[in-house]
Amino acid sequence: MSSRQQTVKRFSKWVIIAHWTNALAFFALYITALPLYTDFFSWMYPIFGGPENLRLLHRIFAVIFVLPPLVMLIVDPKSLFHWLKQTLTWRKEDIQFFVKFPKEFFGGHVKDMPKQDFFNAGEKLNSLLTITCAILLIGSGIVMWMPELFPLALIQWAYPLHNIAFGLSVAVVVGHIYLSLGHPGSKASMQGMTKGDVPVKYAKEHHGKWYDELVAKGEIKEEKPVKKGKGA
Amino acid sequence: MTTKYSKLVDVTRCDGCRACMVMCKNWNDLPVEPEEFKGSYQSHDKCGANTWNVLTFTEHETENGGFEWLFRHSACMHCTDAACVKVCPEDAMHYTEFGTVNTNYDKCVGCGYCVQNCPFGIVQLTTLVDEKGKEYEQAQKCTMCVDRLQEGMKPACVEVCHMDALVYGDKADMVALAEERLAKVKDRYPNANIYNPIGVDGTQTFYLLADKPSVYGLPENPKVPTSATVWKDYAQPLGKAMLGVTTMAVIGGFISNKLFNKQGEEGGNHDE
């Protein structure tokens, strides 16, 4: 990899803060949930000072988990709504993405991937599942936290829903982390979520439509075809 | 567990003396909980955290316009398939060697899942204070006097019942006795029935009722709530499996990338 690459801004400071706060809270919730989920993890109780303390911690992290979208609404609504709009917009290219994606996932190289948005179809699916799980988890969590405010049937259903959303969200997160850390070609996306910018080459390969827009706006110079030399 | 022990409540013998309530309070050191007079002979609305046993007085109009009192000793049913045991995340609710359901107070954290799922609305939380003055909650209900059972004695309420409306023994014997009694009272109470609901695989406190269960304020077909079954029998095991499937997919992806993708586009995978 050459040391000097043309980069382009991808995420605002607030998006990065919100993402990592959410991630941190999610893991804290995940860990404090394990002993509540299965006896296999009961050995964790003493570490957290008993079941009561663990439950208290779970609720504290729950509040932190709920905060990022609310804070984003105030400090950076533009990024928040851009993300939501993209997540909810599905086109033909997004569906085609999933036909080609398995090959890419298991190490192949897909050359004719249809041009993707600022968020590619995989990221859109990840966002959609994350939002669904978060709504289910937060909604059922509130019912479980304050059962006296809700009818009995709702309270009884809150538990299985919390469970289902938990299982689904962990599955989503495992995939999300793998694709950002474990999969080759992930460094650039990680840079996007840590420093806020990504190499133009990465933008071109993974977010073709967004790249075209940037070029059209004159924000970046068009990347030369990579074929000429090896060290892109 | 080979033998189940049960308490048969033969309401057709009960005369409403309430000795069982008093004896229960005495033996279990339960504090007095006065309630306002609500125009009925019944002293308490229902069982609570400090009142494990309530004698209900139902004012019932018979089919020919007559009036009768229906008395019923009400307490924890000790279900064979108990919702409280199913949902308890700390294994505090458990089955005893007598086939009854008990609370392990050392494990109970007062989460209240049992309260929300008991199909009979029996379990309740009580607020206690520990030695440091800190308040905490705990699930409370009839224990079938397990401390007495372990000494070979009968539950306190059974011991004191002067009408033999409460009988305790092997479940098989109690079922036989209930059937014998049912045959005897059928003339007097045509609606009489044995209430040992199958929705919870039968209960260790079961009844010979003089009328339909609903007349006594009992659910006709109690069962473990569907939500509890979905939660504990499907969602939770499936969640664990899904965790496994995604983990396997990721490990598979990692290995196949290592094996087949030798170009190494961006260098190492883990140096991030």
> Is A178–B250 a contact, with Cβ atoms under 8 angstroms apart?
yes
Residue A230 forms contact with B (CB below 8 Å): no
pLDDT for res B2: 56
pLDDT for res A200: 86
Residue B36 forms contact with A (CB below 8 Å): no
B272 occurs within a structural domain: no
Same domain assignment for residues B229 and B218: no
pLDDT digits (tens, 9 = 90+) for A107-160: 667 777 788 888 888 899 999 999 999 999 999 999 999 998 999 999 999 999
> Is A167–B243 a contact, with Cβ atoms under 8 angstroms apart?
yes
Same domain assignment for residues B151 and B214: yes
Same domain assignment for residues B180 and B237: no
Q: Are B50 and B227 in contact (CB under 8 A)?
A: no
Total beta-carbon pairs less than 8 A apart between chain A and chain B: 112
DSSP reduced 3-state for A8: strand
Q: Report d(CA A189, CA A119) in Å as an integer.
A: 11
DSSP reduced 3-state for A185: coil
How confident is the prediction for chain B on average, in pLDDT? 88
Same domain assignment for residues B101 and B7: yes
> Sign (positive/negative) of CA torsion A47, A48, A54, A60?
negative
pLDDT digits (tens, 9 = 90+) for B129-152: 988 888 889 999 999 999 999 999
B268 occurs within a structural domain: no
pLDDT for res B108: 92
pLDDT for res A126: 92
Smallest Cα distance from B238 to chain A, Å? 8
Same domain assignment for residues B246 and B148: no
* A37, A39, A156: best to mutate for the B interface, most B CBs within 10 A: A156
CATH label of the domain that carries residue B126: 3.30.70.20
Q: Residue B53 — very low, low, confident or very high, per pLDDT cuts 50/70/90?
A: very high
> Is A178–B253 a contact, with Cβ atoms under 8 angstroms apart?
yes
Chain A, 154 to 183: residues with Cβ < 8 Å from chain B are 155-157, 159-160, 163-164, 166-168, 170-171, 174-175, 178, 181-183
B179 occurs within a structural domain: yes
pLDDT for res A168: 86
Smallest Cα distance from A216 to chain B, Å? 28
B5 occurs within a structural domain: yes
Distances (CA, A) of B146 to B99, B103, B195: 11, 10, 23
User: B78 or A95: which carries more pLDDT confidence?
Assistant: B78
> Which is nearest to B23 in space by CA: B94, B75, B93, B99?
B75
Same domain assignment for residues B248 and B131: no
State the Cα torsion B42-B44-B48-B53 to the nearest 10°.
Answer: -40
pLDDT for res B270: 37
B177 occurs within a structural domain: yes
DSSP B119: T
Same domain assignment for residues B68 and B190: yes
pLDDT for res A3: 46
Number of domains in chain B: 2
Q: Report d(CA B12, CA B228) in Å as an integer.
A: 35
DSSP reduced 3-state for B111: coil
> Is B239–A106 a contact, with Cβ atoms under 8 angstroms apart?
no
pLDDT for res B244: 61
> Is A175–B238 a contact, with Cβ atoms under 8 angstroms apart?
no
Residue in B87, B225, B254 nearest the CB of A182: B254
DSSP A84: H
Mean pLDDT of B33-47: 90
Q: What stretches of chain A adopt beta strand conformation (E)?
A: 7-9, 197-199
> Is B247–A174 a contact, with Cβ atoms under 8 angstroms apart?
yes
Same domain assignment for residues B61 and B114: yes
pLDDT for res A225: 57
B271 occurs within a structural domain: no
Which H or E run contains B75?
none
> Which is nearest to B90 in space by CA: A147, A52, A47?
A52
Q: What percent of chain B is modeled with pLDDT above 90?
A: 68
Same domain assignment for residues B254 and B155: no
pLDDT digits (tens, 9 = 90+) for A15-63: 999 999 999 999 999 888 888 777 777 788 888 888 888 889 999 999 9
Same domain assignment for residues B138 and B254: no
Contacts of A52 (CB under 8 A, 6+ apart): B109, B136
Q: Are B201 and B81 in contact (CB under 8 A)?
A: yes
Range of the domain at B196: 1-223
B49 occurs within a structural domain: yes
> Which is nearest to B22 in space by CA: B170, B162, B208, B216?
B162
Smallest Cα distance from A220 to chain B, Å? 22
pLDDT for res B267: 39
Residues of chain A in contact with residue B240, where contact means CB-CB under 8 angstroms, are: 38, 167
Same domain assignment for residues B231 and B217: no
Contacts of B184 (CB under 8 A, 6+ apart): none
B269 occurs within a structural domain: no
Smallest Cα distance from A151 to chain B, Å? 10
pLDDT for res A7: 85
Q: Residue A228 — very low, low, confident or very high, per pLDDT cuts 50/70/90?
A: very low
Q: Residue A226 — very low, low, confident or very high, per pLDDT cuts 50/70/90?
A: low
- Domains annotated for chain A, with CATH where assigned, are 7-217 (1.20.950.20)
The ipTM, to two decimals, is 0.71
Same domain assignment for residues B232 and B217: no
Write out the two tokens for B131: 């030695």
